[in-house]
Amino acid sequence: MNILLLNDSMKVGGTQFYMLQLAEVLHSRGHDVAIAANDGEFVARIPSNIAYYKIMLEGKNPLRLARSFSALTSLIKENAYDVIHVNAPLPTVIVHWALIRSGLDIPVVTTTHKIWEKEAHLRTRIFAAIIYPILNYCSDQIITVNRISYDKLCNLRPRRTQIELIYHGVKAPNYPPNYEKKKNPEDYRATPQIISIGRLVKQKRFDLLLNALEHIRKEIAFKCLIIGEGPLRSNLETLSRKLQLDDIVQFCGYRENVSEILEDSDLVAVTSSWELTSFAMLEALQHRLPMVGFDSPGVRDVIEHDTNGYLVPFGNTKDLAQAMKRVLTDHKLRLRLQNGAGKILEKRFLLDNMVDKTLSVYQRAVEIRKHKAVAS
């Protein structure tokens, strides 16, 4: 198949990482793949054998969007794409009208990477309430990456598209060298390591993590690494000092070697008020790490309670603290949760499975278009 992947930009983000993974695997399977988006840091990661077209598909400047519309129309006309896969709302609308203008009959598949839930920002919820019906109209097929968005989209009436839930995926792991030794309780270190990963923004609720750690700081020995940067770093460091966690919690900033840090960790803490599908959580599954987190949208898609970790009511820092303490001190439990993490990964989050399901959506969209053309 000849596939065009579209997004508003190639800035650093989960959507862009998803696109790069998808493009590389599709190309390795013999498909022709191109990416069209505005510039960003991830442009440098696009392999040389995958075509990249810079098109401004974001912003509020009408003149720029008009130029983008014209450029996109020309691009579609010049290439015989079998499917156009869009990964942002505004480009979906632009593609819809570009296809009408060009007179081409190409199916459009949209992946929505947003979340529509009370825990999301009010602006995001209002935007979703408006854009989801538009995507329903402008797309042939819609892919969602989390359960809450899938349920909301399935309730749209009238619904003209088929909705498919396809979780993000990661490569099947070569388990880290120290995984085998962690099977033996006598090999567990006296000071286990908790890790929490994400941008230091309100959504991630690292303040609640710090409060939970304060509950158990005198009960057990541990250290905690917080990986990520963001506007709340100064406030969180101040809170850490106020809770007397300076000698326990380390703010590590943005790190390239997250995989190495995960390999040397014992537990992942997830305190987000909501997630799409966190690649940090999927990496934790790759390393068979137990997770403890709040029972919030997106997080509950990855953590199955008492299978690969524990979920506690959102905001309940005492329950979160006790769950972390239990996992860190019960070696048999930790081993069971490690094994559960491997099973969850294989069942739901492998990259090859993600690509297989996405190709099935492409093929279904093409076949439906062909049947409509014959019927007309």
C-alpha span between 3 and 21 (Å, rounded): 14
C-alpha distance from residue 145 to each of 49, 69, 163 (Å): 27, 27, 11
Q: What is the mean pLDDT of residues 72-84?
A: 93
Q: What is the DSSP string of 295-329?
A: --TTHHHHPPBTTTEEEE-TT-HHHHHHHHHHHHH
Distance between terminal CA atoms of the chain? 24
Give the per-residue pLDDT at 339.
92
- Single out the residue of 265, 292, 305, 260 nearest to residue 182, CA to CA: 265
pLDDT digit string (tens) for 273-322? 988 778 899 999 999 999 999 999 889 999 999 999 999 999 999 999 99
C-alpha span between 180 and 53 (Å, rounded): 46
C-alpha span between 71 and 136 (Å, rounded): 25
Q: Quote the pTM value.
A: 0.86
Q: What is the mean pLDDT of residues 151-157?
A: 76
Give the per-residue pLDDT at 111.
94
Name the phi and psi angles at 135, rounded to 5. -60, -40
C-alpha distance from residue 176 to each of 161, 211, 222, 343 (Å): 42, 31, 21, 16
pLDDT digit string (tens) for 312-336? 999 999 999 999 999 999 999 999 9
Domains, the chain, in order of start with CATH, read 2-169+351-375 (3.40.50.2000), 178-348 (3.40.50.2000)
Give the per-residue pLDDT at 73.
92
Tell me how crowded residue 46 is: count the other CB atoms within 10 A of its CB. Answer: 20
C-alpha span between 81 and 83 (Å, rounded): 6
**Quick check: 227 pLDDT over 70?**
yes
Q: What is the mean pLDDT of the chain?
A: 89
C-alpha span between 9 and 35 (Å, rounded): 10
